[in-house]
Structure 1
Amino acid sequence: MKELVIVSRLLEYPDAALWQHQQELFEVLACSENLSKEEAQRLGVFLRDLLAQDLLDAQAAYSELFDRGRATSLLLFEHVHGESRDRGQAMVDLMAQYERHGLQLDSRELPDHLPLYLEYLAHLPQEEALGGLQDIAPILALLSARLQQRESRYAALFDTLLALASTQIDGNKVAEKIADEARDDTPQALDAVWEEEQVKFFAEQGCGESEITAHQRRFAGAVAPQYLNISNGGQQ
C-alpha cells in the first residue's frame, strides 16, 4: 500500500529529500486506490502546508511536537507498556516479526517507531497490512485526539491511517480519556520527569540515603540562605 509509505514518510523528521521529491508524493496521492477523493485531498493539503514552511521551521515544529513528553510519542509501545519490562519483550517480538518477513533493520530508530512500522506494513499483502493497522487503531485514535487538542495539522495523518484501517473507534471514549490529561510537554512537566528519573536512577543503584544524597542535602542547606540574601538584596 503506497499510501502507507507516504504517511510513513510524512511522520518522519522532515528533511531536504521531502522537498526534492514532493512531486512524486503528489502523483501517488492523485492515483490512490485506497483513499477516497476527500481523504486523498486532505493528505495533499497537509503535504502542501508542510512544504510551504521553511525546512528549519518544519524541523523545529516536529521536534516540539513529537520529541517533548510522551503523550504524542511515535513509539507505539510507549502507549501500551510505558516503562514496564513488558516493553522490552514486545520489542524483541516485533523484531522477530520483521525478520520473518525478511526485513533487517539498519535504522537508528526503535522497532516500534510508527513510521518504521508503517513501512513494514506497506510491504505486506493488503489484507495483512490492514490487520496491522487495525491492531494499533486505538493508539492512532488517541494520538489523533491529542494532536487535534493541540491544533496540530499532523492529526490529519492519523485520521488518514484510521480511514485506511476502516475501523470505528468510539470518539467519545477517546475524548473522555484525554479530557483531564495534563500537558506533559511544558517546561515544568519535563523538569518533573527529569527529577523522577534521577530519583529512580539512584534507587536502582541502591543508594537510598547514600553519602551522595546526604551531601546534596547538606550542600543545598548551606547554599540556600546565601542565595536568598543575594536575590533579595540581603533582605530576609
Structure 2
Amino acid sequence: MDILALISRLIDYPTEELVNAKADVVGFIESDEHLTADDKAGLLNFVEQRFSMDLLDWQSDYDAMFERGRTLSLLLFEHIHGESRDRGQAMIDLIAQYKAAGLDIGLRELPDYIPLFLEFVSTQGAANARGWLQDVAHILALLKVRLEKRDSEYAALFSALVNLAQADIDYADLAEQVKGEKRDDTKEAIDKVWEEEMVKFGPDANSDACGTAVNKPSPAQRRDQDVPIQFIDAIVADTVAKENVSAVTVSGGN
C-alpha cells in the first residue's frame, strides 16, 4: 500500500521538501484506490490547510503537539507499555521482525516510531499491511480521537489509517475515555514530569530521542506476502534475543 508511505511522510516532521511536493501529494491522494471518499477529502483538507501555513509555524505547532507530553506520542509502545520494562523487549521483538522482512534500521532509530512503522508496513503487500495496521488500530484510533479533541487536521491522517486497517473501533467509548483527560503538554504538566522522572547519565541518556523515517525500505527489501503478522511476540527465541540485544540499546523512557 503506497498510500501508507505518503501518510507516513505527512505524519513525520514537516520539511520544505514536503511542502514543495504539494502538487504530487495531492495527485497521489486523488488517484489512490484504497482510500474512501471521506478519507480522501480529509487528507486533501489536511494538505490544503497545513501546506498553506508558514513552514516555521507548522513546525512549531508540530513540536508543541507531538513532542510535548505523552498522550499524542508518535511512539507506539509509549501507549502500550509506558515506562515498564516490557517496552524494551517489545522493541527488540519488533526489530527482529523488521530484520526478518529484510529491513535494517539505524541503532538510534526507535522501531515503534509511527512514520517508520508505516514505511515498513507499506512494503509488505496489501494483505499483510492491513494485518499490521489492525494490530495497532486501537492506538491509531485513540490518537485520532485525541487529535479531534484538539481540533487538529492531523486527526484525518489517523482516521484514514484506521479505515485502511478495516478495524472495528468503538469511537464513542474512546471519546468517553479521553473526555476527562487533562492536557499533558502545558508548562505545568511538563515541569511535573521532569520533577518525577529520574535523571539519566551516560552514553544512552539521549537514546530515546524520537527517530525519523529516513531509512526507507528499498525495493530489494520487499517481501510482499511472506512476513507473518506478529506485532508483539510473547515469546522470542533466545537466539533472536541475543542477536538483537548485542546490536541495539533500548531506553525505557520517551
Give the TM-score band, short-chain normalised. 0.7 to 0.9
> CA 1:201 to 1:16, structure 2 compared with 1: closer, same or farther past 3 Å?
closer
Shift of 1:160: 0.7
Give the distance between the partners of 2:200 and 2:111, measured in 1 at CA: 25
Aligned twin of 2:78? 78
Shift of 1:35: 0.9
Give the distance between the partners of 2:138 and 2:120, measured in 1 at CA: 19
Asked if 1:174 is matched to 2:161, the reply is no
1:168-213, CA deviations, whole angstroms, 9 ceiling, x for partnerless residues?
Answer: 2111211221122111111111111000014x769xxxxxxxxxxx
Range with greater deviation from structure 2 (18-27 or 117-126): 18-27
Aligned twin of 1:160? 160
Taking CA–CA contacts closer than 8 Å with sequence separation of 6 or more, which of the two structures ends up with the larger relative contact order?
A: 2
Asked if 1:106 is matched to 2:109, the reply is no
Asked if 1:59 is matched to 2:59, the reply is yes
Aligned twin of 1:43? 43
Range with greater deviation from structure 2 (38-47 or 68-77): 38-47
Contact 2:39 2:156 in 1 (8 A): no
Give the distance between the partners of 2:167 and 2:144, measured in 1 at CA: 14
Aligned length: 201
**Segments of 4+ moved more than 6 angstroms:** none
SS across alignment from 1:57: helix
> CA 1:108 to 1:47, structure 2 compared with 1: closer, same or farther past 3 Å?
farther
Contact 1:2 1:28 in 2 (8 A): no
Aligned twin of 1:195? 195
Residue identity (%): 48
Runs (5+) with no aligned partner, structure 2:
202-254
Range with greater deviation from structure 2 (98-107 or 11-20): 98-107
Give the distance between the partners of 1:56 and 1:173, measured in 2 at CA: 36
Give the distance between the partners of 1:81 and 1:97, measured in 2 at CA: 19
Shift of 1:150: 1.0
Shift of 1:29: 1.0
Asked if 1:133 is matched to 2:103, the reply is no
Aligned twin of 1:9? 9
Shift of 1:104: 1.2
The TM-score normalised by the length of structure 2 is 0.76
Give the distance between the partners of 1:110 and 1:69, measured in 2 at CA: 18
Give the distance between the partners of 1:178 and 1:168, measured in 2 at CA: 18
Give the distance between the partners of 2:121 and 2:32, measured in 1 at CA: 17
Aligned twin of 1:88? 88
More helix by share: 1
Once superposed, what is the RMSD of the aligned Cα atoms?
A: 1.5
Give the distance between the partners of 1:38 and 1:175, measured in 2 at CA: 20
Give the distance between the partners of 1:175 and 1:118, measured in 2 at CA: 25
Aligned twin of 1:205? none
Give the distance between the partners of 1:101 and 1:143, measured in 2 at CA: 27
Aligned twin of 1:221? none
The TM-score normalised by the length of structure 1 is 0.82
Shift of 1:106: 3.3
Contact 2:8 2:114 in 1 (8 A): yes
Shift of 1:153: 1.0
Aligned twin of 2:228? none
Amino acid at match of 1:146: R
Aligned twin of 1:18? 18
SS across alignment from 2:197: helix
Computing the radius of gyration over CA atoms, which structure comes out larger, 1 or 2? 1
Aligned twin of 1:214? none
